[in-house]
Amino acid sequence: MSERMGRREFLRSASAAVAFGVLASRGDAQPKELRCAFIGVGGRGTFLLRETLKLPGIRVVAVCDINQQNRDRAVAIVQEAQKHRPNALGDKGVFHYRDLLARDDVDCLVVATPCNWHAIMYFDALNAGKHFYGEKPIAITMNEIRAILEAKKKNPKVVAQIGFQWGAHQGRADVVKKVQNGVIGDLLEGRFHRYNNWGSLGRWFNKRELSGDWMLEQAVHEFNLMWWVTKSHPITAYAVGRQNVIEPDNPDRNVTDYYTAVLEYPNGLIVHYSHGWISPSGFTGMATHFVGTKGAVDLLGAYIVLREKGERVSGEGQPGDTLEHLQNFFEAVRANDPNMVYCGIDNGVAASYVGLLIRLSLDRKRQVTFDELMQLDDGWSLLVPTD
């Protein structure tokens, strides 16, 4: 192993090796069993549960959801996979999850609830000293972010992984490192978009007070990529967009149907980001590109094209997604090392900052600055009391 490989890179490599069975093939000892509880077992939570059950050394001891059908389904899935019946919580109301935080037989949590519940649950988990894998976004208001950062400061040993599963791809990590080492030169422009089909997901997704709006519920995946590469926050944002295009007669729908933002970063980098739900077939798709003075990078594609020779350089390393992201979290819990996770609280905060900055520009109908965002007093998400 190269002497220049840092401890964090080594730990990440070791975690990836476990995910692909490399350590097991060498006859290493079985991983320490972790007792895990799931909070929120709807669509995404059930997917995370099924993925977790593929991993060795994880015993699901409890599931929590206010929806009985969700609870029953999750219990049946665990029973079939692990031949025991986990505890089922949620019948006592929305704060029943707090019972899990006081239990000695719960080592860690996986949280996959609607977005307005994320911050309070992560805040509670941090203050209870419970390690957690939490779906994105980490928060949908600035005051939520402040509370989480304060809780993290008081409880620095809690392992927290935010669900940016693209961060588990080792080839992508390799091209990010190459960009940071100057392979494509100074960054000039970011060209990002996510064009979804015409449609509305309905339910809580349609309410900004529950989802945070699309720049927080969905686009934070791309914003995390921007943070991963630049390790800096935008200094200004200007965004334009429209509501009431899809379901114009639905008074309960207050999310943005499409928007375009221009983000100004330090050192002259300009990032364009467009996002919406208005595209017909053939006009959907994504782009996650940075262009530099020496070439460009496709982050999702995990490759670089150099300007002078037109040479294509692919990222080296195993692919990875949700399964490997979960594996990395559990390995970090076993190692008791918060710095081992691929996408921790800093990633979650940085990505939400971009979403909140864009949302603020849309609301104020002008360019806004990062300093303005830092001064914003916007409360907790509307339906989550803090007491």
Summarised one tens digit per residue, pLDDT across range 325-347 is 999 999 999 999 999 999 999 99
pLDDT at res. 18: 45
| Distance from the first to the final alpha carbon of the chain | 50
| Nearest CA-CA partner of 63 in 24, 85, 89, 82 | 89
- Position 81 pLDDT exceeds 80: yes
Q: How far is CA 232 from CA 265, 266, 295, 361, in A?
A: 7, 8, 21, 19
- Position 256 pLDDT exceeds 80: yes
Q: What is the pTM of this model?
A: 0.91
Region 245-258: mean pLDDT is: 94
pLDDT at res. 28: 56
Indicate the length of the chain as a whole number. 387
pLDDT cut 90: percent of the chain above it: 87
Region 17-42: mean pLDDT is: 70
- Position 198 pLDDT exceeds 70: yes
Contact 184, 294 (CB under 8 A): yes
Compute the chain's Rg from CA coordinates.
21
pLDDT at res. 381: 61
The domains of the chain, with CATH numbers, are 7-166+322-343 (3.40.50.720), 169-317+349-374 (3.30.360.10)
30 confidence band (pLDDT: 50, 70, 90): confident
Region 1-12: mean pLDDT is: 41
